[in-house]
């Protein structure tokens, strides 16, 4: 090989080696464009009460802890407000009816307004008790009921009496109490209760050994955690169970207190109600 050919060959080899050591960087994939959806004026939003309220006892300005119980979606199925999203209300009127209440036309009254609820992109939603105009929410003796199946619950109480699982469920929603739903004494009895009352979401968590996720979710919601934080913690799957347990806790508390007494109004844990979007807004959904 001639001297010139050798130099050319070595130079070409050097270029090949350099090229192998420095791969050309691939361009970063383009993120999918966000979806722009609309939350329409008058959209219904299902909520459930997570703390007991009582006229004349819950003072004006007291917080009303709430949770969204069903996904709110647009016509294309895009979720605008996710099931399990925390919401907060504030008592605006709280009055116990006295012995002369009927004569004085001052019956028991328990009103509240929604002060905090967000869409999936963090926008605040203005809500009303009426689909067409601003109106506060009012608890009364007609709308503080419970889920279907009252007769099944009454039969269960008669048969099992002071069931430790029922007490723990009620304590789950009481301030300052954190019962262990995974304890052997509670777990088996709670499963029996779920089977009798068709609480399928809770039973599913029990079978997976994850019923403690319901406690975790409830604690996060009460603390006002964002839906993103809740999902990241793995507790989002327990939303259905919390909704079921809230309704059950309300019944247990109602039973223990001997039903509504006197002229007062008690809104128990698990009381469902519907709010309506007071204004239409545009929601950005990022994939």
The pLDDT tens digits along the chain (287 residues) read 455 554 454 454 444 444 554 555 677 778 788 899 999 999 999 998 888 888 888 999 999 989 898 999 999 999 999 988 999 999 999 988 765 444 456 778 899 999 889 999 999 999 999 988 999 998 886 776 544 456 777 777 777 655 677 888 888 777 667 677 778 878 888 888 888 888 888 898 888 888 888 888 877 777 766 655 665 555 666 888 888 888 788 777 767 665 444 567 888 778 888 999 999 999 999 87
Provide the pLDDT for residue 136.
93
| Whole-prediction pTM | 0.68
Cα–Cα dist 71/18, whole Å: 56
Provide the pLDDT for residue 230.
63
Q: Which two tokens stand for residue 277?
A: 């979007």
Q: Between helices 212-222 and 239-256, what is the axis angle to 10°? A: 80
Provide the CA 113 distance to its chain's centre, in angstroms: 18
Provide the pLDDT for residue 6.
46
Decide if 276 contacts 131 (C-beta within 8 A). Answer: yes
Provide the pLDDT for residue 259.
47
From 89, 59, 259, select the one nearest 157 (Cα to Cα): 259
Return the exposure string of 165-179: e unless at least 16 CB atoms fall within 10 Å of the residue's CB, then b: bbebbbebbeeeeeb
From 120, 113, 115, select the one nearest 226 (Cα to Cα): 120
């Amino acid at each position: 090989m001639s001297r010139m050919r050798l130099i050319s060959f070595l130079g070409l080899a050097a270029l090949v080696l350099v090229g192998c050591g420095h791969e050309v960087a691939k361009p970063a994939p383009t993120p999918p464009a966000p979806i722009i959806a609309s939350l329409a004026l008058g959209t219904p939003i299902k909520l459930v009460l997570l703390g007991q309220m009582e006229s004349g006892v819950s003072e004006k300005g007291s917080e009303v802890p709430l949770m969204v119980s069903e996904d709110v979606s647009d016509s294309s199925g895009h979720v605008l407000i996710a099931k399990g999203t925390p919401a907060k209300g504030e008592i605006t009127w709280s009055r116990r009816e006295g012995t002369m209440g009927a004569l004085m036309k001052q019956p028991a009254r328990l009103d509240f307004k929604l002060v905090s609820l967000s869409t999936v992109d963090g926008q605040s939603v203005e809500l009303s008790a009426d689909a067409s105009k601003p109106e506060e929410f009012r608890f009364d003796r007609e709308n503080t009921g419970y889920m279907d199946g009252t007769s099944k619950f009454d039969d269960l109480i008669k048969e099992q009496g002071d069931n430790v699982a029922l007490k723990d469920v009620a304590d789950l929603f009481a301030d300052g109490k954190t019962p262990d739903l995974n304890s052997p004494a509670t777990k088996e009895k709670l499963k029996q209760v779920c089977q009798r009352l068709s609480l399928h979401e809770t039973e599913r968590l029990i079978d997976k050994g994850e019923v403690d996720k319901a406690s975790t979710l409830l604690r996060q919601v009460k603390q006002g955690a964002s839906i993103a934080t809740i999902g990241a913690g793995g507790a989002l799957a327990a939303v259905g169970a919390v909704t079921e347990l809230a309704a059950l806790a309300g019944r247990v508390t109602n039973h223990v207190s001997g039903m509504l007494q006197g002229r007062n109004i008690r809104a128990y844990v698990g009381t469902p109600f519907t709010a309506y979007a007071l204004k239409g807004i545009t929601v950005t959904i990022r994939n």
